[in-house]
Structure 1
């Protein structure tokens, strides 16, 4: 673990340089412990792939005191466990079809696989939430099976429909709102990814795991899905 100052009341806590399940687990556990043990000092926590941005109340503590408290909180109750078995698993229904999967056929062609094979490969994987960013509720999930990995679009769309499920490289994600984007869209979920009435806003958090479940057009509509382009 490495702690570096960013500003007079902000520091970055690093847990390595490799993106993966191990780093995600460390970030998740550290975030939970900081929220538990330092709620009196911390103003905001922003977990990412391998780090946490910590902002504290400058009137309550200086940089040296914060570093000591951060280390003590993160090291507390450290039994060496990975915590993977206790990770929350969120299942998301997805309608995989060119009707809403704007790039599904292109992904199939790039991978040299049938539509059913692409859907099966994408939906059978258990994904780790590595980071939340770009837009509220936009979760970066990894890792996508190499067989269906595909680069981002060379020209991003100006508007990607809400709920769109996309692939970029070996990551997959869901667009929580209608925004510009260059991910390859293979389906759409009726599940709302942002809850403005909750404290966390996002349906999933760093450290959670996500599994996709393929659904029919009828089920998509029954669950409140929207077939409109935007």
Structure 2
């Protein structure tokens, strides 16, 4: 674990991977560390609006990278597996489209962190050998609700936007709704299972 000051009131902590970042962020929230925001990333955690950086560094020294975050509830998201990249993924995985549906829907994913757009969660759970490359040239418009892959990450586009991920299908789930108590349907730590519609 390495720490770096980011301006006078923020601290960036570098860890091994997304799982460690999620575990550290969860631990820090439970410990009540002195930061107004704790934001996990792919291999970092940002602590923002920190009153005393050195005090926070001392507290963080008590965290163990082996700490597991508590198990969150699992939500199910229905997917229509009809995406334009389904055949590409089938070929990359050495199977047919039914095999893609079976593999993709058999995994329990965990939202490691959010980014790119409000409500977009980076879901980990696919094994590295199932990683697929992004498109060479991004699409100018990906519809909201598109379920897609990039590398070993899975994600759902919360709104229409440009994007270069491989689209497997679509869902009617609303990923971001500002009138809900918790606007993001899939905040970090949430476990997700995809169910063929």
**Aligned counterpart, 2:48:** 55
Q: d(CA) in 2 for partners of 1:119 and 1:104?
A: 9
**Aligned counterpart, 2:57:** 67
**Aligned counterpart, 1:29:** 26
1:108-147 aligned within 5 A: 108-145=90-127
Cα pair distance change 1:149/1:71, threshold 3 Å: closer
**Aligned counterpart, 2:16:** 17
Gaps of 5+ in 1: 216-230
**Aligned counterpart, 2:68:** 82
Task: Give the TM-score normalised by the residue count of structure 2.
Answer: 0.86
Deviation at 1:114, TM superposition (A): 1.4
Deviation at 1:8, TM superposition (A): 0.2
Q: CA RMSD in A?
A: 2.5
Contact 1:28/1:206 (<8 A) preserved: no
Cα pair distance change 1:27/1:134, threshold 3 Å: same
Cα pair distance change 1:31/1:51, threshold 3 Å: farther
Deviations 1:66-110 (A, max 9, x none): 434x438x65xx8x76245x222121111112xxx1211222233
Cα pair distance change 1:199/1:9, threshold 3 Å: farther
Deviation at 1:164, TM superposition (A): 0.2
Structure with the bigger percentage of helix: 1
Query: 1:202 is paired with a residue of what secondary structure?
Result: coil
Q: d(CA) in 2 for partners of 1:120 and 1:192?
A: 24
Deviations 1:161-204 (A, max 9, x none): 00000011211111111111000001001100112124653211
Gaps of 5+ in 2: none
Contact 1:48/1:206 (<8 A) preserved: no
Q: d(CA) in 1 for partners of 2:47 and 2:155?
A: 25
Q: d(CA) in 2 for partners of 1:87 and 1:66?
A: 26
Q: Tell which structure's C-alpha radius of gyration is larger.
A: 1
Query: 1:7 is paired with a residue of what secondary structure?
Result: coil
Q: d(CA) in 1 for partners of 2:80 and 2:184?
A: 21
Cα pair distance change 1:81/1:143, threshold 3 Å: closer
Deviation at 1:48, TM superposition (A): 1.3
Q: d(CA) in 2 for partners of 1:207 and 1:105?
A: 31
Q: d(CA) in 2 for partners of 1:66 and 1:105?
A: 49
Does residue 78 of structure 2 align to residue 93 of structure 1?
Answer: yes
Contact 2:146/2:167 (<8 A) preserved: yes
Task: Give the TM-score normalised by the residue count of structure 1.
Answer: 0.75
